[in-house]
A and B are shown apart, each in its own frame.
Chain A
């Protein structure tokens, strides 16, 4: 029987530079108050770990991930995204 190989991928969504990130600012302040030294600034974002069962090669996988990011995972008005096939 054929064993289906799942391809593992990751989509990282971050706020565009220049977009105010109040959550990042709050985390930054919290790190300071915890005494974590040397933090200049924090910007927060989202990571999506995705398993793919459809595509057979990296190029197709990346195409599919871009579709997912454009259609739903990122709001490209304020966010950038990066797709990577990790294995």
Chain B
């Protein structure tokens, strides 16, 4: 799996992401600066990592979404290439129009930095094939603006087309407002594009991949992606 991790000023989780990609897939990812106009030839997966691109100025992800490299990411996605956005990366993908909707300020107005439980909604996607549908995984979140919202029609389409891959849930997989820490509509934690090849999610699976991290629940996402390309090749 050849992956490319985008780097914007103010991004700070790109090395966690790169380390995880290397660890799980065995291949060192390319780090791609935002001012570039092209992705490395043969890129399978583009990852937009977390952090605070441009200091979250204007709106989270707004300025990064308009960087030169994003045209190349749009072209990659249009060809069916996979794109994963985590945290600020999810915000950037929404701002760039690659994913619908927007991440608003958390309902409780607090920056939330802790582990949450996610219910994996389906396992028949390149991103979730490492899990079982209905499986609950524990992964960290660290965000102030993760409260996903879109207009009613968009939400109905996301739900109808099975594009919600992760929801905030209880450890038993129950969807409940008490476990929806940021107030996202329908407890949405991660969604895909219409064509299913772009995933945006607020939680950080890359931070739960080794036992020294206290949990390895995030590993399935990267192992699944790696298998997807391994078998496709």
Tell me the interface secondary structure of chain B in the complex. Answer: loop
Could you say which of A22, A23, A73, A77 contacts B58, with CB atoms under 8 Å apart?
A73
Stretch in B80-88, B104-112, B211-219, B225-233 touching the partner = B104-112
Residue B31, interface by CB 8 Å:
no
Q: Are A22 and B107 in contact (CB under 8 A)?
A: yes
Could you say which of B63, B66, B149 contacts A78, with CB atoms under 8 Å apart?
B149
What are 14 A-B contacts with C-beta separation under 8 Å? A19-B104, A19-B149, A20-B107, A20-B149, A22-B106, A23-B109, A71-B66, A75-B59, A75-B95, A77-B100, A77-B101, A77-B102, A77-B151, A78-B104
A-B interface pairs (CB < 8 A), number: 32
Docked CA distance A77–B94 (Å): 10
By size class, the interface of chain A is 10 to 19
Residue B27, interface by CB 8 Å:
no
Q: Are B150 and A72 in contact (CB under 8 A)?
A: no
Docked CA distance A26–B106 (Å): 12
Q: What's the minimum C-beta distance from B106 to chain A, rounded to whole angstroms?
A: 8
Residue B155, interface by CB 8 Å:
no
Docked CA distance A75–B63 (Å): 12
Docked complex: A8-50 residues within 8 A CB-CB of B:
19-20, 22-23, 26
Could you say which of B105, B107, B150 contacts A77, with CB atoms under 8 Å apart?
B150
Docked CA distance A7–B144 (Å): 37
CB contacts (< 8 Å) of B108 on chain A: these are: 22
